[in-house]
Amino acid sequence: RTVYVNGEYLPENEAKISIFDRGFLMADGVYEVTSVLDGKLIDFDGHAARLERSLGELDMASPVTAEELLAIHRELVARNGIDEGMVYLQITRGAPGDRDFVFPDPEETPSSIVLFTQDKPGLADNPVAKKGIRIISIDDIRWGRRDIKTVQLLYPSMGKMMARKAGADDAWMVEDGFVTEGTSNNAYIVKGNRIITRGLSNDILHGITRAAVLRFAREAQMEVEERNFTIEEAREADEAFVTSASTFVMPVVEIDGTPLGGGVPGRVAPRLREIYLEESR
C-alpha cells in the first residue's frame, strides 16, 4: 500500500513519524475518514470543511491547501486501486524535539500529515446492513468538545469492547439521561414516519453523513425532529439506526437486549440507506 506522509508518497513500511509527534504523545491531532465508492470520494467537501473547522478550534495550521488535500486523496485512491473503501487522514501538531504540554511555535514545528487508504470491497453492499446491528448503552465520559474530530479515541474503543463483551456490535453513549451518539457514528430513532436525532452542539460530532441523510430525508417528505431522546424512548421506538462515513446508514435492531420492530430492520433505515447510496455516489 502506498501512503502519504508529510509531502511524500511511500510504501507503508517506509513511512516514518517522529516519536515526539504530539499526535503520538498527547493525542494532539484531528482526523477525517472519507469513504470511496466506485473509486470516487463520497462527501469530500463536507469532510474537508469539518477538518478545517477542527483545525481552527485547536489553533492548528494545515500543512496543505484544500486543493492539495483533494489531490492527495485522489492520488492515493488511484495508486492503491481503491474501488470501495476509505481514505484516512490525520493532522497532528507536529513533532517538537521534546515532550512539553505547551504548544510548540508553529513556525518552528510544522504540523504532521498522514493519509492512507483502506480497501473495503463490498462496503456499499454490506450484508450487515440487511441484518442490522445490536447495541448496548454506556455512560458518555468523553471530554466536552466532541464536535472536534480529535484522535482521542480510547473511550470509543473501550465502548466497542464493552459492546463486544456483552455480545453486541456497538454502543450508544448516554449523558444526563440522553443519548449523545454512537462510539463512531450518530444515533437516530424512528417513530412512525418521524426521524429523531440529537441536535448539534459541542456534545456530539457534527456528522457529515448525518447532514446528508437528514437533507435526503426532508427531501423525501420524511419528518425530522432534532431533539434529545433517552435510551428508554429508543427501546420503545419503531426503528433505530446509525450513520457514519464507514457505515453510511446502518439499522439498529436491538438496544440493551430489547429487540426493535421484531429484531429486523424496518422500513425507514433501509430506505434511507438506499437513498444515501443512490444520491451520494
The set of cell numbers assigned to 64 is 496543505
Residue closer to ligand PDD, measured from CB, 117 or 209: 209
Q: CB 179 → ligand PDD: shortest distance, Å?
A: 12
Catalytic residue, chosen from 16, 40, 120, 149, is 149
Residue closer to ligand PDD, measured from CB, 32 or 254: 32
Binding site for ligand PDD (CB under 6 A): 33, 181, 184-186, 205, 207-210, 243-246
Measured on CA atoms in the order 6, 146, 35, 74, is the torsion positive or negative? negative
Q: 170-175 and 133-139 as β-strands: parallel, antiparallel, unpaired?
A: parallel
149 is known as an active-site residue: yes
- Contact between 46 and 208 under an 8 Å Cβ cutoff? The reply is yes
Q: CB 95 → ligand PDD: shortest distance, Å?
A: 23
Q: Cα(2)–Cα(8) distance, rounded to whole angstroms?
A: 10
Residue closer to ligand PDD, measured from CB, 125 or 143: 143
Residue closer to ligand PDD, measured from CB, 15 or 211: 211
DSSP secondary structure string, 73-116?
Answer: HHHHHHHTT-SSEEEEEEEE----SS--SSPPPTTTSPPEEEEE
Q: CB 176 → ligand PDD: shortest distance, Å?
A: 17
- Contact between 235 and 255 under an 8 Å Cβ cutoff? The reply is yes
- Contact between 180 and 198 under an 8 Å Cβ cutoff? The reply is yes
Q: CB 32 → ligand PDD: shortest distance, Å?
A: 8
Query: What is the distance, to the nearest Å, from the Cα of residue 178 to the centroid of all Cα atoms in its chain?
Result: 20
DSSP state of 215: H
Q: CB 253 → ligand PDD: shortest distance, Å?
A: 20
Q: Cα(38)–Cα(188) distance, rounded to whole angstroms?
A: 28
Residue closer to ligand PDD, measured from CB, 1 or 10: 1
Query: Which residues does the annotation mark as catalytic?
Result: 149
